[in-house]
Structure 1
Amino acid sequence: MEKVIVHETAPVTLIGGGEVAVSDLREALSLAPMLIAADGGADRALYLGSQPRAVIGDFDSISEQARSTLSQSLLHLVAEQETTDFDKALRAIQAPLVLAIGFLGARLDHQLAALHVLAQPHVPPCILIGANEVVIHVVEPLEVDLEPGAVVSLFPLSVVTGRSQGLEWPVDGLVLSPMTRIGTSNRATGPIRIETDGPGLLAILPRHSLGMVIAAMLARRSRLETAQQIP
């Protein structure tokens, strides 16, 4: 069982060592004020003028300067080398939602690794925030009030089926697979609803929909928790 390092009842921001604009960090922190860093993300956070409340990783990326700047109590070493620092950090966070910045952009192999991690069975749902898009793993039905014409790309990392409403090209009855059929550059006709019959489908939505995606994911979580409390 993974050790939980961060316990929060509100969404948290997780920063990686990739490309991050100061405006991205400010927006994320306005929505999820607690900042956690994945290894070298600590350097990125300090460079942008913010201090993480915890740093999680195998510490092969964080600089000695960052380590000496931060209190040792904030540094949480996860020594195994089988997973990425993004994966390590997500598994160590208990929160209703994680906003992840600094994992898209720059190196392509790092971006692919981040998408792979996003599709893994982590406890906290996560939104990957890029310069122009946000990416989520569609585990529960996703309902977002998009404007007509908004680009909605659906990318399967495994074989998956599902249903949709509000897409110009519905996915009902289709078998999506990374080797055969993907759903790049679909378009919304208005509010959308996407649900799947299993894990593995990533939804890529416009960056400006971030607030709506957060609201939808938190509302869904709240409804599920309320339903679980009803005898």
Structure 2
Amino acid sequence: MNNETHTQKNTALIFAGGQSPLLHLSKYLPHSQWTIAADSGLDHALSLGVTPGVVVGDSDSVSEEALAIAHSREIEFISAPTDKDFTDTELALSHAVHIGAQRIVVVSAGGGRFDHAHGLLTSLFHPEWAHIQIEAFIDTAHIFVLHGASSLQITGQKNSLVALHAMNGMAHGITTEGLRWPLRNESLAPWVSRGVSNELTGTSGEISLQSGALLVVQPEAFTQIPQES
């Protein structure tokens, strides 16, 4: 899996609610066929200069100003009741899958309520979405989702941090290239922290997985504000 392999026509960009994302994330946002805001993610999308095509959720935390802009621009709303079994972000993810996205990028500031942050992270690993390339920009971190059997190429500054976490049970057959502490066809359990605080030995690396689900995190990916060329 390589985040350069999917084109604009099958990519969905989702803005989650919560705190406002870092403004310089706009430098990294992919070109996408679909842009979806989950509730107050509408405010965050507009703050980054992005007009969503659709807003999903109960609209209980969207600002009046953002709602006025959305209506003036005739943005579509897919409403959901306030009392429901799913978060607005999960509904937005489900909508992206329904319309045929093959790559989904979720943008969130992180922070805020821990239960919402945890719910966002775990929803990325829905087993029915294992065939879709899913990643997230959360605060300063770039997050990737791997379902076996698959592989991922990452880039970053030399010595920058990389973390691997098993999700949804055991992750087997993990092999890494370009990391300071390599894994060679090994397994990780979700209750151990062995995969934390690894480092790139150069400016690129590769992680492959045979079975299970793996969370790959580059926690410092967006700490450096890119310079204007």
TM-score interval (norm. to shorter): 0.7 to 0.9
Aligned partner of residue 207 in structure 1, secondary structure? coil
Could you tell me which of 153, 169, 176 is aligned with 1:164?
Answer: 176
Could you tell me which of 193, 199, 205 is aligned with 1:192?
Answer: 205
Show the counterpart of 2:5. Answer: none
Aligned partner of residue 197 in structure 2, secondary structure? strand
Query: What amino acid sits opposite 1:185 in the alignment?
Result: S
Show the counterpart of 1:14. Answer: 14
Following superposition, the deviation at residue 186 of structure 1 comes to: 0.7
Whether contact under 8 Å (1:103, 1:114) holds in the other structure is: no
Following superposition, the deviation at residue 95 of structure 1 comes to: 2.3
Show the counterpart of 2:57. Answer: 57
**How many residues align structurally?**
201
Q: Deviations over 1:32-66 (max 9, x none)?
A: 47532011211333455543211012434334554
TM-score, scaled to structure 1: 0.73
Q: Deviations over 1:85-106 (max 9, x none)?
A: 2211111113232222125233
Equivalence map 1:202-213=2 (5 Å): 202-205=215-218, 206-207=220-221
Distance across 1 between alignment mates of 2:45 and 2:93:
17
Structure 1: gaps (5+ residues): 1-7, 210-231
Aligned partner of residue 27 in structure 2, secondary structure? helix
Show the counterpart of 1:74. Answer: 76
Query: What amino acid sits opposite 1:118 in the alignment?
Result: L
Show the counterpart of 1:134. Answer: 142
The structure with more helix, counted as a fraction of residues: 1
Whether contact under 8 Å (2:159, 2:201) holds in the other structure is: yes
Whether contact under 8 Å (2:15, 2:106) holds in the other structure is: yes
Equivalence map 1:1-231=2 (5 Å): 9-18=9-18, 19-24=20-25, 26-29=26-29, 31-32=31-32, 34-63=34-63, 65-71=65-71, 74-79=76-81, 81-93=84-96, 94-121=100-127, 122=129, 124-139=132-147, 140-157=150-167, 158-161=169-172, 162-190=174-202, 191-205=204-218, 206-207=220-221
Aligned partner of residue 141 in structure 1, secondary structure? strand
Distance across 1 between alignment mates of 2:182 and 2:137:
25
Query: What amino acid sits opposite 1:141 in the alignment?
Result: S
Show the counterpart of 2:226. Answer: none
Whether contact under 8 Å (2:14, 2:107) holds in the other structure is: yes
Following superposition, the deviation at residue 73 of structure 1 comes to: 5.8
Aligned partner of residue 9 in structure 1, secondary structure? helix
Distance across 2 between alignment mates of 1:86 and 1:102:
10
Distance across 2 between alignment mates of 1:203 and 1:56:
27
Following superposition, the deviation at residue 141 of structure 1 comes to: 0.4
Whether contact under 8 Å (1:156, 1:182) holds in the other structure is: no
Answer with 8-17 or 152-161: which moved more: 8-17
Distance across 1 between alignment mates of 2:156 and 2:55:
35
Distance across 2 between alignment mates of 1:148 and 1:29:
23
